[in-house]
Amino acid sequence: MKLIVKIFNGIDRFTDWTGKFFCVSLLIIMGIQVLEVVLRYVFNSPTVWAWDVNGQVFSAAAMMAGAYAFLHDSHVRLDILYRNWSDQKKTVVDIITYPLVCIAMGFVIWQGLDMAVWAFKTGERAHSYLRPIVWPVKSFLPLAAILLFLQCLVKWGRTLMIVFGVETCLEKKQ
């Protein structure tokens, strides 16, 4: 059981780290946008790359934020119903819905990998002036889905451990 708890804690730490890493990427986006505005309106010399770079960096950050939000219980849910339920009812709903999320993430991993591989094989490019390759940003979709899948397994595992009385799962370390 201690090995499982260590694996769970490791996934939590990795998810937390990736979330913080991609949070910093938002500062990069902000810096590029400020640079673009200054170059465009002060020097009348806009860039051709800022829009594409910001779009790709933001896409990657938004996808990678899912597992981080799930780790910290920041995902949108029907709180109108959920918050008024008893802990027992919440646990039952969580035990049922976590596997459904895992199934959905399995589909996203499958289709995301297919899209990323196709973009790589064909050299797909964005439809913009700069025309950057898109496989790097498309690769983040299956990566983000894998991380969310793992984080969902951790939450489901911890919930089941609580239900079955295994208290060591509460030794969550971050």
Answer for the pair 112, 83: CB distance below 8 angstroms, yes or no. Answer: no
Determine which of 55-59, 94-98, 103-107, 165-169 has the lowest per-residue pLDDT on average. Answer: 165-169
Neighbour tally for 124: CB within 10 Å = 15
Determine which of 63-67, 75-79, 96-100, 135-139 has the lowest per-residue pLDDT on average. Answer: 75-79
Look at 86 and 168; give whichever has higher pLDDT: 86
Sign of CA dihedral 58, 61, 63, 66: negative
CA-CA distances (angstroms) from residue 158 to 27, 106, 161? 34, 20, 5
In angstroms, rounded to a whole number, what is the distance separating the alpha carbons of residues 81 and 22? 32
CA dihedral 11, 110, 117, 150 (to 10 degrees): 0
Phi and psi torsions of 74, nearest 5°: -105, 0
- Tell me if residue 125 falls in helix, strand or coil: strand
In angstroms, rounded to a whole number, what is the distance separating the alpha carbons of residues 15 and 8? 11
In angstroms, rounded to a whole number, what is the distance separating the alpha carbons of residues 89 and 48? 53
What's the confidence (pLDDT) of residue 22?
92
List the domain range (segments joined by +) for residue 112: 2-170
pLDDT > 70 in the chain, percent: 94
Overall number of domains in the chain: 1
What's the confidence (pLDDT) of residue 174?
46
Calculate ∠ Cα 84-88-94, nearest 5°.
Answer: 85
Neighbour tally for 135: CB within 10 Å = 18
Mean pLDDT of the chain: 90
Plot region of 165 (φ>0 → left; ψ -120 to 50 → alpha; else → beta): left
